[in-house]
């Protein structure tokens, strides 16, 4: 059985939680107060991650699709577990859909998106075939590079004479209602709630007693990183562009211009997006495959890699007719109808049931 270290878990958690959020602008609906919404979401996200890791400790050695049958029984718990397995497939399709709409608008406007997506999916398939340990080792290489590029980007932006600190004022000028609307439900589910999928990886960690500490530290790192990104975007672009742009980070990168020499650094944006997207989609694919393997009691889960990847590719190509419909579904429909029940309500009930059963057993 493959094993990963706690540092590798930390790396994968940060890369997973960052995902595509920095491209779309986390909590951008809050305007200049987006960074406040990020910090509030992070605090609530820490409580959510604490809930998940407590459930893990009460169900040692089990993945999320094994939690529910173990506590709710076979007839009720197994269908719920299948919902989480299918959720991984859906999240894979949505993430690939993000990629499908970004590439034609920014990088390859004349290239068939089906070809680009197919190549990207084949890379994911190869990564998952290689195993979670190989993916984690790649993460160890890419995460420091991403942080280094962020530091370099901040230096270049501040030397491009486009930073206006007053864009952050007045703080909470439109009231806390706008901020809270960005926090609930999308802010807490977009990066932190969906991290329940990492429970498919937790049993593979070498030192399970440190998973809680590692996961909480990774969540804090993610929250601070995204908040800094939002601050830089707001002081550079202003509230209007940041709030209304589909890809504010892509717009931000294009503001860099030093002496008419250092400019058009779109490659940085590409590296950010493809790196974080690759790791998040790899985990979606790995989690979906492992969940189906455990639910079907199949010995070798690799037989499911290609079918699951093909389903993800099909969903990416068909789930929305255009980028506006894709984003609207992600902002208004999915959080209330899918994410809140699966990320908060059911885990909350599971925690209570597990706690009661342990008390009765004792």
Predicted TM-score (pTM) of the model is 0.92
**For residue 314, pLDDT beyond 60:** yes
Domain-embedded: residue 350: yes
Domain-embedded: residue 230: yes
Domain-embedded: residue 187: yes
Query: What are 85-134's pLDDT values in tens digits?
Result: 998 998 898 888 877 777 776 667 777 888 888 999 999 999 999 889 99
Domain-embedded: residue 1: no
Least confident of 89-93, 327-331, 335-339: 327-331
Contact 312, 89 (CB under 8 A): yes
Q: What is the CATH number of the domain that holds 235?
A: 1.10.4160.10
As for how many domains the chain has, the answer is 1
With a pLDDT cut of 70, the percent of the chain lying above it is: 88
Query: What are 23-36's pLDDT values in tens digits?
Result: 777 777 777 888 88
Range of the domain at 323: 6-361
């Amino acid at each position: 059985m493959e094993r990963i270290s706690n540092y590798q878990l930390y790396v994968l958690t940060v890369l997973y939680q960052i995902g595509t959020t920095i491209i779309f602008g986390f909590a951008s609906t809050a305007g200049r107060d987006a960074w406040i919404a990020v910090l509030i979401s992070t605090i609530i996200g820490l409580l959510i991650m604490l809930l998940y890791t407590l459930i893990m400790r009460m169900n040692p050695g089990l993945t999320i699709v094994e939690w529910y049958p173990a506590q709710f029984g076979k007839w009720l718990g197994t269908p719920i577990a299948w919902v989480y397995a299918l959720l991984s497939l859906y999240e894979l399709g949505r993430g690939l859909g993000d990629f499908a709409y970004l590439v034609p608008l920014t990088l390859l406007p004349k290239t068939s998106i089906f070809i680009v997506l197919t190549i990207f999916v084949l890379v994911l398939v190869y990564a998952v075939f290689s195993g979670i340990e190989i993916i984690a080792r790649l993460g160890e290489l890419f995460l420091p590079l991403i942080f280094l590029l962020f530091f370099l980007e901040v230096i270049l932006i501040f030397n491009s004479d486009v930073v206006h600190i007053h864009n952050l004022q007045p703080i909470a000028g439109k009231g806390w209602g706008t901020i809270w609307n960005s926090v609930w439900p999308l802010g807490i589910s977009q990066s932190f709630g969906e991290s329940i999928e990492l429970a498919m990886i937790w049993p593979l960690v070498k030192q399970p007693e440190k998973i809680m500490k590692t996961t909480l530290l990774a969540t804090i790192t993610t929250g601070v990183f995204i908040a800094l990104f939002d601050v830089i975007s707001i002081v550079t672009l202003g509230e209007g562009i940041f709030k209304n742009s589909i890809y504010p980070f892509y717009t931000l990168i294009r503001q860099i211009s030093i002496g008419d020499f250092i400019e058009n650094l779109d490659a940085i944006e590409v590296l950010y997006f493809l790196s974080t997207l690759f790791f998040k989609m790899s985990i979606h694919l790995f989690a979906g495959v492992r969940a189906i393997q455990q639910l079907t009691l199949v010995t070798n889960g690799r037989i499911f890699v290609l079918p699951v990847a093909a389903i993800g590719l099909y969903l990416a190509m068909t789930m929305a007719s255009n980028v506006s419909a894709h984003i609207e579904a992600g902002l208004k429909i999915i959080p209330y109808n899918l994410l809140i029940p699966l990320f908060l309500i059911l885990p909350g009930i599971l925690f209570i049931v597990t706690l009661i059963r342990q008390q009765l057993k004792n």
